[in-house]
Every structure is written in C-alpha cells, then in structure tokens.
Amino acid sequence: MCCFTNAVSVSHTSIFARDAGNDRQFLVYAMKVKAAAEVAMVLPIPVPRGSGEQAVTFIDLSDYPLIFADLFSAMGFMGFAGSEDGAKPAPAAPTPLVVQQVGAFEASFVPTIADFNRLDQRFQLPAGTWEKLPAYRDYGFAVFKLKAGEQKIHPMAFSFPRSDPSALFFPTVHIHDGAVHEQADFDHTLFAQTGDRHPQGAEAWAESQALAGREVDIKRAAGIVAGDQHVYYRTLKGKLPNQDTVLKFG
C-alpha cells in the first residue's frame, strides 16, 4: 500500500523487490509526484510482530536515479518513462522516532500503528485511517518525507524483515485521498528478482533477455540488484482491484 498524508498527484510508479537473505527483502520505490505542500509517503510493510525501530535499513540511491531505466533495459526494452496554565499535566511526550537523512529524503520506520504519535504531526495520517484498514494492524511502516512541488524523485530504498519469507511484497494499494476504494487507477511497473525460482503466475511476468549485470550498475545499486540473475517484469495499468501485490514462488 502507498498512502500520502496530503493531496498529491502520482504517476509513473516503479517498484523493485528481491530476497535479501536472512528472511529479509529489498524494496525500491520511485514515482513522479506533485504536491502543493510537504507530504509524507507511508508504505506499510509486513514485518514480524515485535520488530523494533532498527528493523528497517534505509539505503541511499541518490547516486543512481536511473536504476529503473537500467532494469528496463535489462528486459530488452527501450524508452522507460519511469518521487494552559491550570490544566492537568499532560502525559509525557512519546520519544520521537529516529529520523534518517537518506539522499533527498528524511525517512523513519514506524514499528506499529501505535507508534505513529511519535512521528512529526505534519506527517501523520488523518484520524481513523487505520481503523478502515484492519489488514495492516500488524504491519510496520516506512515513512518518507517529500518536499512540495512537482518532481521526479530519486528512488527510495530499504530492506526489511518479512513476516512471510516465501513471498515478495509490493505495496500497491492506493490511499491518496484519505479513503480506501475497491478499485484504483494504476500506473505501476513492477520488477523482481527471484534467484533460481520462478514466480507463480509466471504468465503475468516477463523474464529479462539478459542478466541484470549487463545493464545495471551493480556497484551503484548498493547490493540491491543481483547482477547474476535475470529480472522479472510486469505492469499494472488502468482501473484495477485496489490491493497489494504478493509474488509467490513456484
């Protein structure tokens, strides 16, 4: 799921996922975004219950803004289109969440829904949002703070522990207006590496003609992309069921 704390216009979303070992997953997310004010993007991720604040490792890809163009090239395609006095004493303020500078972004990991009150109030979702989304009650949340204006931002990247190590998770549910609709307009391109395993439902995924290392700068990709593996690719375009995408292996 991708949701925003203010009104935004989003297009050209690209997501990459790969098994990071030790029951973790790499996730890279990029988009073109237009926002009238500062906004935070919140990505719920299926982490094991009890994951702490340090469970997510953010990765700076500001030096590799074209990683998705290179992944696209590995598919054998060209032209990728791819950011009061007298009052009762107040309870002690919760300890603020750690904020990291990751390239052009400020990023935080929110371990549970209850921890959102530790996040800067400007970047919290409207009250009642999570009550509408019971499926995410046990999730953690990667939060990226974005600047106002129209921009194609460099990819956001991190690794996280998975509650289900047998699958790759793509956060594709839309919440752009504070509401959860049964269907949404998609403009997504998904990339995955699955090692020597094939995706279930492989007919929906195209396999690259070349190994990733032929087109992708593996050093600048900071270990996220495996140069000796092929890349799988699929698109989600138009009005589709508003749900996350989970890639199981055959």
CA gap 229, 164 in Å, rounded: 22
What digits encode the pLDDT tens for the residues 29-56? 999 888 777 888 899 999 999 999 999 9
Least confident of 102-111, 149-158, 204-213: 149-158
Q: Hey, what are 91's tokens?
A: 């309870």
Q: Is the pLDDT of residue 15 over 90?
A: yes
- In the chain, count of helices (H) and strands (E)? 1, 16
| Cα within 13 Å of Cα(224), Cβ side | 29
Yes or no: is domain 2-83+96-248 CATH 1.10.1060? no
Contact 31, 166 (CB under 8 A): no
pTM score over 0.75: yes
Which tens digits make up the pLDDT trace of 183-241? 988 999 999 999 888 887 766 899 998 899 999 999 999 999 999 999 999 999 999 99
For the chain, the structural domain boundaries read 2-83+96-248
pLDDT of residue 93: 54
